[in-house]
Amino acid sequence: MHGPVGLRVHAAWLRRCRHPVNAWFDRTDTVSVRAGRAHHRAKPHTRAERTRQDRHDSWKADRLLMRNPPDSPTFAPHARAMPPRWRGSAGRIAAAAGMVFIGLVLVLQWLRGDLWWVDAQLSAYLHGPYGLLLRTAYCLLAATMAWLALGLYAALAPAARSRTVLGLFWMAAVGLCMVSIGDSWMPELAPEAAAMVHVLSAETTFLCVIAAVLLQSWYFRRDVRWRAHFPSAFLLGWAAFAVLLFHVTVTSAPLGISQKIAIVLIVVWMVRAGTVLARCERDGAARLPHSRDNAGVNQP
């Protein structure tokens, strides 16, 4: 008589544990235990053998919970993996680097009194005082752009990823580096080649980065976490494209102010994308440890 009573108590305890209110119980543990070496054992044929096998599996599940309770730091469901931290770091660094670059551009308008900020394009600041500082900032911004593109590609849903966008961002980064490097030593050694390299590199950079910004903003619609940021990102990209188109077509207008506005809008898009990327990765990592399903019941 003691045996059946004990089995009934044990079965009632298991039903209570499997109730969703008890959030510490994860039935994936029993599934993994029951599926551990099931293919190595002969399947029970009789009802008594199946009953004994079920008791044995339940006992193994209980032992597993006792050795590794869900509240212990060693408990981690196998189906959930922590996201790579470098994606959030890429977003934070891109946002910080973009804000520093915008601040540097604004400060140079005041420091370079020999250049009229309305007419002088940003490439004119690559030479003369503080030229080395701006050329270094160009290279760092290019590296940040390439890393941000990798972070977005890794963090977005598969439907929102695009190798074309990744390649465009990387081509824009290479072109930006060529602008910086070409304006450092080529004007003295090869003046004619320096002008050609600068024009080709600058045009490649602008075309690739504008195309990448517009395409990536459009693909944000396909990711649930980024869908809310699609309108502002797409609008910002189109604003940068419109200003750049105005800079190229309307030659009678001051070239300096239109080019700088287009550059600032592109960098602002990078800052915003990096900020959202860092926030999404932080929120996603914070939700993983609290993956318990309480079925709408709050527990202390």
What is the number of other CB atoms lying within 10 angstroms of the CB of residue 197? 18
More confident: 292 or 54: 54
Cα(253)–Cα(255) distance, integer angstroms = 6
190-234 per-position pLDDT tens digit: 778 888 888 899 999 999 999 999 999 999 999 998 999 999 999
The pTM score is 0.67
CB 221 within 8 A of CB 157: no
Q: Return the minimum-mean-pLDDT range out of 7-16, 80-89, 99-108, 156-165.
A: 7-16
Residue type, 99: M
- What are all long-range contacts of 106-109, with beta carbons under 8 Å and residues at least 24 apart? 108/134
230-280 per-position pLDDT tens digit: 999 999 999 999 999 999 998 888 889 999 999 999 999 999 999 999 988
| Domain assignments of the chain as residue spans, ordered by start | 2-67, 90-287
More confident: 147 or 286: 147
**Band of pLDDT at residue 36, cut at 50, 70 and 90:** very low
Residue type, 27: R
Residue type, 241: F
117-144 per-position pLDDT tens digit: 898 999 899 988 999 999 999 999 999 9
Q: With 50 as the cut, is the pLDDT of residue 299 above it?
A: no
What is the number of other CB atoms lying within 10 angstroms of the CB of residue 268? 16
